[in-house]
């Protein structure tokens, strides 16, 4: 009898250990897979999409935005698309976002992954403030930068004259012609991709990237002193004093002490 209970106990403990081991193993594989499939950065979300990290959390993959899109712009990521599975995205070179004024894809979102507020000005839906991405021009392959006359992207832009402008400059090579080169303005560009669709080069010389990918970041310690709005950031600023070996005296003392303080 005693032997039997002992072997039962052993069986139970071994069984539990096996269960825990298999769970841990599959947990790691599962996590690694999820990490891998959610790592894709280079995709464009519908207008009003919240930050990518929160978007992946919040989107329930129902496809209501895809169904609402009248131009079939939006796609739902399928296995094999190499995008986070079941989430909506679009490829502007195939079908760009035509920037419907009533933005049908956003209010249908049941989860708030597409945030109506982020595309609303004064209580009215406003597609012009959407931030789906940012158009980037490759000056090496844009034929306008070669000196050939082309303003396809400028003409295609729904916010013509604001998101893309054409700059004039002298063509020194010929000496008698002008460059008419397109320039994208990040504050106005919505990333709809109509320019990418319109671009005449074989592979588009102007293309939309997600803003996080396309833009740099100066860091919060740079303040534009000439910009009243930016200056306001200093209003509640407090001083942080840090002392190092070199800076514990005054600056002048540190200089007068020769290089002694620096080579330590």
Tell whether residue 95 is a contact of another protein (CB under 8 A). no
Look-up of token digits 């993959």: 61
Q: Which of 42, 51, 94, 112 binds another protein (CB under 8 A)?
A: 112
Closest C-alpha to 188, from 215, 162, 156, 155: 162
Shorter beta-carbon distance to another protein: residue 58 or 165: 58
CB neighbours (10 Å) of residue 145? 17
Shorter beta-carbon distance to another protein: residue 52 or 151: 52
CA distance 108 to 21: 43
Q: Which of 84, 92, 133, 193 binds another protein (CB under 8 A)?
A: 84
Tell whether residue 27 is a contact of another protein (CB under 8 A). yes
Q: Which of 33, 139, 171, 200 binds another protein (CB under 8 A)?
A: 33
Shorter beta-carbon distance to another protein: residue 54 or 167: 54
DSSP 45: P
Cβ burial, residue 45 (10 Å; 0-12/13-18/19+): buried
Tell whether residue 18 is a contact of another protein (CB under 8 A). no
- First-to-last alpha carbon distance for the chain, in angstroms, is 76
Shorter beta-carbon distance to another protein: residue 40 or 141: 40
Tell whether residue 117 is a contact of another protein (CB under 8 A). no
> Minimum distance from CB of 86 to another protein (Å)?
6
Alpha helices by DSSP H, 47-193: 52-58, 64-68, 143-146, 152-156
Tell whether residue 111 is a contact of another protein (CB under 8 A). yes
CA distance 139 to 155: 18
Phi-psi region of 99 (alpha: psi -120 to 50; beta: other; left: phi over 0): left
Q: Which of 95, 100, 108, 209 binds another protein (CB under 8 A)?
A: 108
**Per-residue contact flags (x/-) with another protein for residues 47 to 76, judged by CB under 8 A:** ------xx-xxx-xxxxx-xx-------xx
Residues 135 and 163 sit within 8 Å (Cβ to Cβ) = yes
CA distance 186 to 191: 9
CA distance 37 to 82: 7
> Minimum distance from CB of 48 to another protein (Å)?
14
> Minimum distance from CB of 9 to another protein (Å)?
19
Residues that bind another protein (CB under 8 A): 19, 23, 26-27, 30-31, 33-35, 37-38, 53-54, 56-58, 60-64, 66-67, 75-76, 78-81, 84-86, 108, 110-112
């Amino acid at each position: 009898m005693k032997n039997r209970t002992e072997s039962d106990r052993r069986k139970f403990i071994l069984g539990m250990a096996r269960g825990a081991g298999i769970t841990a193993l599959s947990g790691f594989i599962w996590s690694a897979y999820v990490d891998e499939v959610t790592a894709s950065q280079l995709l464009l979300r519908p207008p009003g999409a919240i930050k990518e990290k929160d978007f992946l959390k919040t989107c329930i993959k129902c496809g209501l935005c895809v169904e609402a899109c009248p131009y079939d712009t939006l796609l739902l990521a399928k296995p094999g698309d190499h995008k986070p599975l079941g989430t909506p995205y679009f490829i502007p070179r195939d079908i760009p976002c035509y920037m419907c004024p009533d933005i049908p894809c956003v209010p249908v979102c049941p989860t708030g992954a597409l945030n109506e507020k982020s595309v609303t000005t004064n209580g009215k839906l406003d597609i012009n403030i959407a931030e789906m991405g940012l158009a980037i021009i490759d000056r090496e392959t844009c034929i306008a930068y070669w000196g050939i006359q082309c303003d396809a992207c400028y003409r295609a832009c729904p916010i013509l004259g604001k998101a893309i402008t054409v700059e004039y400059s002298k063509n020194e090579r010929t000496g008698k012609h002008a460059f008419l080169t397109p320039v994208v303005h990040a504050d106005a560009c919505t990333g709809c991709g109509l320019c990418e669709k319109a671009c005449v080069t074989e592979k588009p010389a102007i293309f939309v990237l997600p803003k996080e990918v396309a833009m740099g970041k100066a860091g919060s310690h740079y303040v534009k002193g000439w910009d009243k709005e930016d200056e306001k950031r200093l209003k509640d600023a407090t001083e942080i004093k840090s002392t190092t070996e070199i800076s514990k005296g005054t600056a002048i003392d540190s200089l007068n002490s020769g290089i002694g303080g620096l080579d330590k």
